Chain A
Amino acid sequence: MSDLGLYSGWYAQLREYSELVDQVLLAGLGNLEPHTEASRKRLAKLFRSLVGKSDTDPTLASLRIWMGRHIRLSPTQWQMLSEALIQGSSDNLTVQLLEEVARKLDLYRAQVFYDMRGR
């Protein structure tokens, strides 16, 4: 019956991915240094899974559903972001798209935070 229990797992996941996107933005999309590799790979995998059913991680089911419904990027844009993360492309459009993902994710994280904690 717990709101805290119910939200806290979901909140932790939103927080984690919100942070991952910001880490990549901070490091710079063109930065392919080894210490950013893990973050990039995880994000690229998540974005790729939004396009097709292959390579899906069941633990990310809720996040995938939420992102697919609330971040209105086309399949081509998700695919482009995923490839940019692996290849290190950092053109303006890609950075803008990633910033849009970061903004939406963090906004929702804040909303869940207030649902969990109460205003």
Chain B
Amino acid sequence: MLSLYLVGSVAQLQLRAQRLVGRIPRDLPREYAALEQACRTQINAIIAGLSRLAEDTTDSKLKRQSVRLRVFRRLVADLDILEATGIMALTRRHSDDHLLNHLVEQIRIEVRYPLAAPVVSSLSQQYFQIKSDLNLLFVPLAEGDFLLHLPDLYHELAHPLLSVANDPALDPFQNAFYRAADHVMCHLDELQRREDRRYGLKAYALLLKQWVDAWIPFWLTELFCDAFATCTLGTAYAWAHLHLIAKRGDNPFEIWNGARSHPPDEARLRVMLACLEQCGEGSAADRVRKQWNGFKSEIELEPEPEYQRCLPDALLTTIATEAKVGVEGLGCRLIDSNEYQQVSQLLNAAWEQFWAAPESYIDWERIEIEKLRLQSRKG
């Protein structure tokens, strides 16, 4: 049965892959060249993989049908991802994206970001997100009309710094991540040894298991990206995070939901504040902390006792310290530099303006966005 199924399905998937190549527009601007090439290369690799799978039906090596099915599924997944990201960004590009692409290129220069700037597409259905292997950054449709969430661009830029392989320039940041991962594992091992039985052995063991599964691949990655954004942009990033917590209404101390890919928001904020302090921005950190405390008293949520055990201050401070060392090792420009950085200053100024005169902020923002648009058209 499986052999027959694969004969039909492989042929159809090959055709689908070819159709996707056919849909790539022929008049793309130069800034899309790398993305287009990456998409073509990946699609060709998928088609080659499918051809091998089709040819191998009579190969004695491929008596293992279970293996053939897994190979097929991986190729299906590869094409699905490509269709929903790279190909979609190429076929649905919009003139509005130009401003964001200009902005990200400016950030790259200002920060001394060690990789090429990603292509930005305003087609995100899930807030800001980046696809590192295609160097493609998605932002929500209207995000280019506003400034207060744009600090999250800095966070997204950090993801490829952790996931791009075989680039010695990225070693300092990646090695800092591995050192921090060792600290996290030591902490979790210690918790395991001192297993708390107040909630019953099974409940706590389950919680610990969820923490172990989430900490290294997900939480630590997010915290490092937060640290990169804070060290290179400054207070605006912490404000943008607070803005998101306030808008979304989630529990910022949530640790029981094992499906969460992101660390609790409060822990993320603590890493940001530690980074600000380590970068000599203690008074800015105090201002954010004051607003956060005010917000906390309004929402009337407090962490459970396990929360501090999972995310103690000492561990988060160590993570912030390691991440900052990593960012310095990349040769990136930190916020304590006195050099003029247009985008960084604009995003920080936006938050100062927001707090100083919230009633007139949107008028101020409209003018600044217009100036940016004019500049991006010239540039």
**What is the interface of chain A, defined by CB distance below 8 A to chain B?**
1-10, 12, 15, 18-19, 22, 25-28, 58-59, 61-62, 65-66, 69, 99, 102-103, 106, 109-110, 113, 115-118
Contact = CB atoms under 8 A, between A and B. Distances in A.
A22 B67 CA distance: 6
B163 A12 contact: yes
Contacts of B216: 61-62, 65
Contacts of A113: 77, 80-81
A26 B244 CA distance: 48
A99 B80 CA distance: 26
Contact of B126 (A2, A28, A59, A110): A2
Interface centre among A5, A7, A10 (most CB of B within 10 A): A5
Label chain B's interface by main secondary structure. Answer: helix
A99 B63 CA distance: 13
A7 to B, nearest CB: 7
A110 B67 contact: no
Nearest to A107: B70
Given A6-B262, A8-B163, A9-B132, A106 B74 contact: yes
Contacts of B286: none
A68 to B, nearest CB: 10
Interface of B: 61-62, 64, 66-67, 70-71, 73-74, 77, 80-81, 84-85, 126-133, 138, 152, 155-156, 159, 162-163, 165, 174-175, 178, 181, 185, 209, 212-213, 216-218, 221-222, 225, 244, 261-262
Q: What secondary structure prevails in chain A residues at the interface with B? A: helix
A2 B222 CA distance: 9
A43 to B, nearest CB: 15
Contacts of A12: 133, 163
Contacts of A69: 209, 212-213
Contacts of B66: 99, 102-103
A110 B2 CA distance: 19
Among all A-B residue pairs, the 10 with the closest Cβ atoms: A2-B129, A9-B163, A58-B178, A5-B159, A4-B129, A5-B130, A62-B217, A10-B217, A106-B70, A62-B216
